[in-house]
Amino acid sequence: MHTSDFFTTFVPDMKKRLYIALVFCALFACAHAETILLRTGARVKGTIVFQNDEVVIIREETSGARFQYPRADVEAITVEQTNYEKPEQQLEQEQKNEIKVSKKASILLELAGGLSFLPAQPVGGAASVDLLVGSHHIGDRHLFIGGGVGYHGIFMQGGKYNFIPLQAALRMPFTEHKHAPFFGISAGYGIALSKDYAGGIYAGLDLGYRCQLNPKTALALAFFAQFQQATVKVTETIEDTSFTNNTGRNIVNTGVKLAFYF
């Protein structure tokens, strides 16, 4: 075969085969897409360009922008292929992941203890337990909004005061990391458990640190301050004569609180 016949016959054919191979490789690459499933429930679809025990970097599919996420915030990484049906085991795993991050309701149990302050009384003690029911996520945030009841006991030298607070509560982390500081507020009405005194407006403020043990459970430790309005009996002695009056008082409690989200 002459040299000219070789180039005329084989070179175009080789170019054609090379072109087909490149197109096939491109289609194969496009058929694979990786998805990062974050603990907040958000999904980022694209191509992972780097990952280790600390971070995961992904190039977003539509914009091409690169995003970096702490490894602790990544719930799962899935690989999707468009040219074949997903195996049953993979579908089951993805459904499990969905169940983990789609939890909407949560129960919050709080145990607290500390000091109590009442005007014209020595410093006393305070202990409380609150059971709240509310949200687990609002949008993409680990945000608790709910309400419930509790029991608050206040122990003074002059007596003991017990209240059942009916309250609404908010608990919000400052960041969306697995472990993060948070603040909380509560407000409602404290119902007195004795005829010797009356209840009133209740409010609380928390500041602490929350640890996400898993997508459904969290543990938090916080410092708290509580305000309870009450009407108590006050006895005054004037010129050897005792007078008892019902007087409004503001009771302030402060201490440490342990909370469980489940």
Q: Which domain holds residue 141?
A: 105-261
Q: What amino acid occupies position 249?
A: R
- Among 101, 128, 144, the domain-final residue is 101
Q: Are residues 129 and 168 in the same domain?
A: yes
Q: Are residues 52 and 126 in the same domain?
A: no
Reported as a single tens digit per residue, the pLDDT across 88-116 is: 555 555 444 443 444 567 899 999 999 99
In this structure, the number of other CB atoms found within 10 A of the CB of residue 89 comes to 8
Per-residue pLDDT band at 149 (split at 50, 70, 90): very high
User: 196 near 175, Cβ under 8 Å?
Assistant: no
User: 104 near 133, Cβ under 8 Å?
Assistant: no
CATH of the domain at 182: 2.40.160
Q: Is 217 contained in some domain?
A: yes
pLDDT of residue 99: 38
Reported as a single tens digit per residue, the pLDDT across 29-79 is: 444 578 888 888 788 888 888 888 888 898 888 888 888 889 888 888 887
Q: List alpha helices for the chain, DSSP H.
A: 3-30, 88-101
Of 125, 246, 127, the C-alpha closest to 197 is 246
Distances (CA, A) of 90 to 20, 44, 76, 80: 32, 18, 12, 10
Q: Are residues 153 and 226 in the same domain?
A: yes
Q: Are residues 134 and 169 in the same domain?
A: yes
pLDDT of residue 100: 43
- Among 101, 135, 161, the domain-final residue is 101
pLDDT of residue 210: 92
Q: How far apart are the first and last CA of the chain?
A: 81
Nearest-angstrom CA–CA distance, 129 and 79: 46
- Among 82, 101, 120, the domain-final residue is 101
Reported as a single tens digit per residue, the pLDDT across 150-172 is: 999 998 876 789 999 999 999 99
Q: Are residues 50 and 179 in the same domain?
A: no
Q: Are residues 251 and 127 in the same domain?
A: yes
Tokens of 103: 């939890």
Per-residue pLDDT band at 241 (split at 50, 70, 90): low
pTM score above 0.75 = no
- How many domains does the chain fold into? 2
By CB atoms closer than 10 A (0-12, 13-18, 19+), residue 253 is buried
| Average pLDDT across the chain, whole number | 79
Q: Is 13 contained in some domain?
A: no
pLDDT of residue 112: 96
Q: Are residues 145 and 247 in the same domain?
A: yes
Nearest-angstrom CA–CA distance, 202 and 196: 19
Phi first, then psi, for residue 139 (nearest 5°) are 65, -125
Q: Are residues 94 and 109 in the same domain?
A: no
R_g of the chain, CA atoms, integer Å:
32
Tokens of 6: 């070789």
By CB atoms closer than 10 A (0-12, 13-18, 19+), residue 33 is middle
Q: Is 177 contained in some domain?
A: yes
